[in-house]
Amino acid sequence: MLKGVETARLLEVVAEQAYNAVLITDADMAGGGPFIVYCNPAFCRMTGYERSELLGRSPRLLQGPETDRTVIDSLRQGLKQQQFWEGSTVNYRKDGQSYVVNWNISPVLGNDKCVTHFVSMQQDITARVRAEAERDMLIQALNRAHDPVLVTDREARIVFANAAFESLTGYQAAEVTGKTPALLGSGEQSADFYREMWEALDNNQSFQARFINRRKDGSRYYVEQSIAPVVNHLGSRTHFISTSWQVDELVEREKALHTMATQDKLTGLLTRRAGDDALYNAHHEHLAKARPLSTIICDIDHFKAVNDTFGHLAGDRIIQHIARLIDQQARSGDPAIRWGGEEFLIVLQANHAAAMGLAERLRRAVEQMQDAEVGQVTLSLGIAEMLPGESIEQLLGRADGALYRAKRSGRNRIMSGAGN
């Protein structure tokens, strides 16, 4: 067991070698004190004063213009009441530079239970305060940003969401903190989409794409979203930051333009240009997966007479009626196209027999249609199935030739292209 002298020596060594600043003052509160009776090397390094310059002086020599007087008043009140006290304020080094100090003070009692000294443990927290101020400023700036910002940790758990995110999604930041952005998923984007995203992020690359998300109330919204990994000075990924731009109006305009470009205004079927794309896509499937491919070309019989006798409004109405029948009879995956004025094309990933069955159902449905003004209307149809090594143009040529043979043979009938 250590003797009193040895204990005192040990405490002195500990104080001298302590990382944090240690200051001991007397308890003189009446004569301008308390006054410094001991300070360790860490305290001297923090303040820039030599020990000889501090001993016998009041710690008030460290105060200056930015020292918070309310903190000092609280400190002195604590000393008078002989209580433990803790606080922080601005102090000044010998060279005049300010620093933020956090310190706690404990009274030291003598044998008579009276306070003889005060011991203070102090720490320069300037860097921490500055970092916190910069963080607060950044948070304030992000919260004032017009666009949503989301920050997650490296495990993709949300650690920050700004006010714009709250406004867009309907979620409060507290509701999403600790969760992953998956709670915004609409289920309308494929696993390949998210796989591509994570491949980029795992390689510390940014990822930008259009996301289809859902709000807290279940409504859908579109954003152009950019996600970037945040890497520290060691090259380790610590966070992800995401910024978004709501593009609902842009998506609606794109859809409208797409509809204008691909959907025939009168019939709702595909336009000729969109039909060309659908036909070439079907041809690619035919070659890549050895699927059968057939085409049906339809033409309204005596359509010029309808226009000449009843007018173009009646002609348009007949075209619309037949387009609806084509749309009803064709399978959902088989493109139906307004190929010309009164001419239609149906593209089937099916063989000749299936195409013939569809053509006959369609012919009968049109034949049974009665327009209140025009009366009965009929349809002539030509069919061709893709042959090995044949081009799209050759396929269409055979179907078109079959159509004209049906016309010459009396109309209201189906003809098959040569080669089937």
* Residues taking part in catalysis: 342
Q: In what order do the strands lie in the sheet with 414-416?
A: 336-338, 343-348, 294-300, 379-385, 414-416
DSSP state of 19: S
Query: Could you give the CA distance from residue 152 to residue 240 in angstroms, rounded to a whole number?
Result: 5
* Alpha helices, H only, 311-380: 312-329, 352-367
What angle do helix axes 303-310 and 312-329 make, rounded to 10 degrees?
A: 140
Structure tokens at 248: 């609902």
Structure tokens at 137: 């400023």
Q: What is the DSSP string of 258-314?
A: HHHHHB-TTTSSBPHHHHHHHHHHHHHHHHHH----EEEEEEETTHHHHHHHH-HHH
Asked if 380 and 411 touch (Cβ cutoff 8 Å), the reply is yes
Please identify which residue in the block is written with the tokens 């079927």: 269
Query: Could you give the CA distance from residue 22 to residue 19 in angstroms, rounded to a whole number?
Result: 9
Query: Could you give the CA distance from residue 285 to residue 31 in angstroms, rounded to a whole number?
Result: 98
DSSP bridge partners of 102: 88, 123
Query: Could you give the CA distance from residue 390 to residue 138 in angstroms, rounded to a whole number?
Result: 65
CB atoms within 10 A of CB 30: 7
Instruction: Tell me the residue type at 49.
Output: Y
Query: Could you give the CA distance from residue 307 to residue 373 in angstroms, rounded to a whole number?
Result: 12
